[in-house]
Structure 1
Amino acid sequence: MDLSGARVLVAGATGVLGGALTAELAGRGACPALAGRDPARLAHVAQACPGAPTVLFDAYDPASCARAVHDAKAALGGLDAVVAAFGAVAFGRAAEVGDEVAEHLYAVNVLAPAALFRAALTVMGPGSVIAAFTGVVAERPQAGMADYSASKAALSAWLGAVRREVRTSGIHVLEARPGHLDTGFADRPVAGTAPPMPAGGDPHRVAAALADAMETDAELLFTAPDGTPVVERRAR
């Protein structure tokens, strides 16, 4: 897709990764709509993106995710892409992570983006894009992160099935599976404490690669062992 003039909803625009992606898209001429949970943080982010509409949603409320899509469509006069750049993480052995924590992870990491994209698929046409960040854990589950890994793998499976459903309609489904990024995400778990981790990758570099992937109608973005973002036309 041509990002110049493209109307893009970034859900999770108040986060480090979402903010980097918003800046990247705007720099390429896109018209972003910013979505987040906190009105004050949304207003702050919007200062760096003059003219961008803001919409509220709560990832624990699927109905609000759908409303955010329709609100963004109304504000922008249409939608060409929707990106989910939000999530929740928890740490701890599977036997120690409570059911409430697991439920929270699945609600935020699977049901919320699914609700967002379900609504998007009803209002977008050929050439449009839905994109989500799953992460390397979607294909390589990590000990001490069983429920988080499973929630991201579930979202990956959902995206893969939808990709097959919509391929003939001309809608593109893009999945990003980056490794650990320097966003502070692991420092804000809903439960547990992050184990020692290597230095995180640059979120701005990944945001630029995601924009490249959107422009080339790619299906997969991942990071190579040396940390280089790799864009693949077809998902593996």
Structure 2
Amino acid sequence: MRKQPARTGEREWDVNLDGARVLVAGATGVLGGALTTELAGRGAHPALAGRDPARLARAATAHPGAPTLLFDAYDPASCARAVHGAVAGLGGLDAVVTAFGTVAFGRATEVGDEVAEYLTAVNVLAPAAFFRAALGIMSPGSVIVAFTGVVAERPQPGMADYSASKAALSAWLGAARREARASGIRVLEVRPGHLDTGFADRAVAGTAPAMPPGGDPHQVVGAVADAMEADAELLRTTPDGTPVIERRAR
């Protein structure tokens, strides 16, 4: 990932995705697939990681030559192996993105302990496993990127355990960010509102409540790529779905 020539008033961490080696975990999903296409369109060299071999093979047809890696979000060791596999396949890593997760709906008294444990494993421990492995090998100027969501800051009724898992990941990122700054590695949190990806229809438990129309995921992934190329730490969306990039996370 090449640094762009610094212009007056710009930070030296501004980078160029052209030539960047990027691992996208969750590349078989709607959001991860759209982001992979966006990054490749900017000249990045992606490695694709996913859980389902057939879906991973289909995703790879759009990116000939890209390494493909299997992982199970319920198995942190497989997440670390995917990072090392991407390093081997790409000759290094400049960015790691986690664009996967799971959701459950129901009142706090109704969602069982097993579902709550599963949400924590997939939404917190698995991304942390990817980043823990990556932070140990990435060079200054690299970036890690994680999707959390607006529920990380505004927990919603009927989504207590899901909200808690995303808030926990956000807290983990905040602490890791402070540690990584000393090494010149940036941590970018993507905290969008509801997006039109069908994610809510694939809940592991419960039924999604009535929701307003979701935002455009393609608009968000374009903004994610912009944020990766800038010295940004947070991307959020306004109530009308407009992406907002912030240099420093709140």
TM-score range with shorter-chain normalisation? over 0.9
Task: Select the residue among 108, 119, 124 that pairs with 1:105.
Answer: 119
Q: Distance in 2 between matches of 1:199 and 1:115?
A: 33
After superposition, the CA RMSD in angstroms is 0.5
Matched letter for residue 139 of structure 2: G
Matched letter for residue 61 of structure 1: D
How far is 1:217 from its partner?
Answer: 2.3
Task: Select the residue among 168, 187, 192 that pairs with 1:154.
Answer: 168
Match of 1:174 in 2: 188
Summarize the alignment of residues 43-122 of structure 1 with structure 2, pairs less than 5 Å apart: 43-122=57-136
Is this contact kept in 1: 2:195–2:217, CA < 8 A? yes
Q: Distance in 2 between matches of 1:182 and 1:139?
A: 20
Task: Select the residue among 181, 194, 205 that pairs with 2:219.
Answer: 205
How far is 1:226 from its partner?
Answer: 1.7
Matched letter for residue 94 of structure 1: A
TM-score by length of 1: 0.99
Q: Distance in 1 between matches of 2:92 and 2:138?
A: 8
Q: Which runs of 4+ in 1 moved over 4 A?
A: none
Question: Are 1:25 and 2:53 matched, yes or no?
Answer: no
DSSP 3-state at the match of 2:49? strand
Matched letter for residue 247 of structure 2: R
Note the alpha carbon deviations across 1:65-85, whole angstroms, 9 max, x for none: 000000000000000000000
Note the alpha carbon deviations across 1:177-215, whole angstroms, 9 max, x for none: 000001000000000000000101111111000000000
Task: Select the residue among 115, 119, 123 that pairs with 2:137.
Answer: 123
Match of 2:157 in 1: 143
How far is 1:112 from its partner?
Answer: 0.2
Is this contact kept in 1: 2:188–2:232, CA < 8 A? yes
Q: Distance in 2 between matches of 1:222 and 1:153?
A: 14
Is this contact kept in 1: 2:193–2:239, CA < 8 A? no
Is this contact kept in 1: 2:28–2:50, CA < 8 A? yes
Question: Are 1:11 and 2:25 matched, yes or no?
Answer: yes
Q: Distance in 2 between matches of 1:13 and 1:142?
A: 27
Matched letter for residue 189 of structure 2: E
How far is 1:159 from its partner?
Answer: 0.2
Out of 127-136 and 45-54, give the one that drifted further.
45-54
Note the alpha carbon deviations across 1:7-34, whole angstroms, 9 max, x for none: 0000000000000000000000000000
Q: Distance in 1 between matches of 2:130 and 2:177?
A: 15
Number of aligned residues:
236
